[in-house]
Amino acid sequence: MEADKQEEADNEIVLGCNLAVMTEKDLEAAEKLWMESAKKKAQLDAPCTDDEVEQEAAWCQEAISNILNATAKMITIYAK
């Protein structure tokens, strides 16, 4: 997952997820959300086009971000 970065008064703010503190219950919830999301998405077949692969990668990134936002503890890091 790509972290969201913002500039604020010479400090860089990085927003992300702290995966290390996820509990077994959090992991189970994340897996359940992934399985529900994946059921709604058609699977790529071989052969597929470059565009289809790009679309699949974008979908995966969005799905993972949504799942982590729903199940993981969010953190903010301030860097100078």
Give the angle 57-49-1 at the CA atoms, nearest 5°: 5
Number of domains in the chain: 1
Q: What is the per-residue pLDDT across 1-49, written as a single tens digit (0 to 9) for each?
A: 445 555 555 678 878 889 999 999 999 999 999 999 999 888 888 889 9
What is the widest separation between alpha-carbon atoms in the chain?
A: 49
Q: What is the per-residue pLDDT across 47-60, written as a single tens digit (0 to 9) for each?
A: 899 999 999 999 99
Q: Please enumerate in sequence order all residues whose Cβ is within 8 A of that of 75, keeping only pairs 6 or more positions apart, or say none.
A: 15, 16, 17, 18
- Is 71:29 a contact under the CB 8 Å cutoff? yes
Q: Which pTM was predicted?
A: 0.69
User: Where in the sequence is the domain holding 23, given as residue range(s)?
Assistant: 4-79
